[in-house]
Amino acid sequence: MNRLPLITIVSLFGVAVGLSPPAAADDILPPSWRGQPRSTMQLWEFSNGADPAAPDQVSNPYGMPILNLTSWAWHDWFWARQGIVSVGAGGCLPIELPNYPRAGRDKYLWVQITYWSWRQPHHWEVMWDTGHWQSPTPPLIERRVHSDGWVTDVHWITIPENPPAERLEMWFGPNGTYVDQVVVDTLCIPFQPDVNGDGVVDVRDLLAVLAAWGNTSGPEDINGDGIVNVQDLLLVLANWT
């Protein structure tokens, strides 16, 4: 997605300078939880035409995310930017996201996509082994119109569990689109000390942890370390209401 380096522009006028824009120019609104435990980050700038496309930047200790291109073409240069993918009519950008492998309460997906001239995705889907989420309009956190005509949208998606991997699909309309950059952050939200969800942390939650002692998953594994043990019991006691 790199814009034409400033050094190239200035050199046309016989002056060379050592400046260029940052590589992730449209990573405009990273989530506040980026870099926290149980989070991942992956960024595609489409610096080449590889398919499937590995991310240009990645922080994901659980595996390598992959973006598979369908009905697409890669462009070295399009409308003042370098490294562009054109998605054909009705085409899709599907992303495979390996993730935190322990069970959790929710999963957050924070998606930033930079596209050309108001041709945003018209349908979104997230699929995993035990569930399916879809929406024509996931919550839009911010829309930024850049001076060169490109648009960056920031979306926040919540899915109601924490699968070890999920597939995010962004579908485009009959006119297709041009995509300059995609950034996806994820975060697993662990289970809470209120194990039974009744609004208080009390003896019922303590008994639930004791009843699940030694289990390797479930809401009683409050800290998400893969075992129900004294650490989870201490979290119940520390949050007693």
Residue with tokens 């479930």: 218
Element (H, E) at 233: helix 230-238
Q: What is the pLDDT of residues 16-28, one digit of tens each?
A: 333 333 446 789 9
Cα separation, 88 vs 109, whole angstroms: 25
pTM: 0.80
Task: Sketch out the chain's domains with CATH numbers.
Answer: 27-189 (2.60.120.260), 203-238 (no CATH)
What DSSP state is assigned to residue 3?
B
CA-closest candidate to residue 102, choices 231, 229, 221, 194: 221
**How far from 112 is each of 8, 61, 179, CA to CA, in Å?**
28, 21, 11
Strand partners, 87: 72, 177
CA-closest candidate to residue 48, choices 23, 85, 79: 85
Q: What is the pLDDT of residues 75-134, one digit of tens each?
A: 999 999 999 999 998 899 999 999 988 777 899 999 999 999 888 898 999 999 888 999
